Amino acid sequence: MNICSRLRAYLAWKWKVAKITFFSMFYNSHFSSDYVFDTLIQPAFWFVDHFTAVLGPIFVFMVVFLTSTAVFIAYWIGLPYYLEHKNIYFVWGLILFGHYLLINVIFHFLMALTTSPGVPPTDRILQEVTSICKKCIAPKPPRSHHCSVCNTCMLKMDHHCPWLNNCIGHYNHRHFFLYMTFMVVGCAFLMTFGFVIFYEEFIEHWGLASSEEVRANLAEKYPDGNLGVFTRRSLVFYETFMTSACFVTLGALTLWHARLIHAGQTSIEAHINKSETKRMAELGKSYRNPYNFGPWFNWYLFLGLVDGRGWFSVFFPSTHKPVGEGLSWNSVYSCNIKWTYGELQLSKLS
């Protein structure tokens, strides 16, 4: 028993000496378990960042390809079906509305893809600076954050979107959100008016005859429905799967971003505001997001409904830029925005 106690004491002493030696060589005031975790996880971050940068063009090609195939199948199968079975005026209404959605999807996708979110200028002195970027070693304007994929700071950065191979920030955030919105509405459009075709192909004859007989009857009914090695049924199934999957996943993402816009914050700011709210609550104080003008005015500002600009610029393609240069911001404490709709009362916000 005495030997075990002496051995335990000896090992405890050696462990203490090892810790003192280690800390004397590597200790700094920021050393903690979080510091160790951040250091160890850096290779993983490096891999993800470079992986995203390399695959970005491939993701963009996939978006273009999948969207193009869905539109093509709508022309190849959907349009002939409606021309044959539906009222011509109703069909023309669907064609006009469908192309309205398609034009908006293409426009906002290209704008979000090709428009830079904006970077802090290096050729002039910034009037407002919140900190110095540890990666760029340069001043950061308010609401700017560093993108490790693009390797630079972005104005009002929301996130880096691999499907656009671009950062989402000050100058292209509106296009990104409207692209998602019109894409979700477009998927709902194809799902709604394509259901009758899906029903006829997969449900109407369920259990009434063998699958071979059903396929033969439909193939005889629609002799031009096949496309090379792809049968009409496989094309209908592909269209159904793609539009449904896109509607659910992109719809959820659109709702998430709508919630953030509603609160006057970006994805990054949502985490910051949550942490600040918790920190201030521990001090017995309340925290308020200085960029939250209230739901309606947050939407007006995000969509650019200022300086007399109306809803036409939202429902139809518009290249108007957001308010300001993204270097300084109006807030609930000081606001000089000329709202198109309504009048903001700062006294009720600050």
Termini Cα distance of the chain? 70
DSSP output for 54-123: HHHHHHHHHHHHHHHHHHHHIIIIIHHHHHHHS-HHHHHHHHHHHHHHHHHHHHHHHHHHHS------SS
Question: Residue 182 corresponds to which tokens in the numbers above?
Answer: 């019109």
98's CB contacts (< 8 A; 6+ apart) are 74, 186, 189
Give ∠ CA 26-31-34 in degrees, rounded to 5. Answer: 130
Q: Give the Cα separation of 65 and 56 in Å (integer).
A: 14
What Cα–Cα distance (Å) separates residue 117 from each residue in 138, 144, 151, 157, 162? Answer: 18, 10, 13, 7, 14
Exposure string for 139-165, b = 16+ CB within 10 A, e = fewer: bbbbbbbbbbbbeebbbbbbbbbbbbb
Catalytic positions:
161
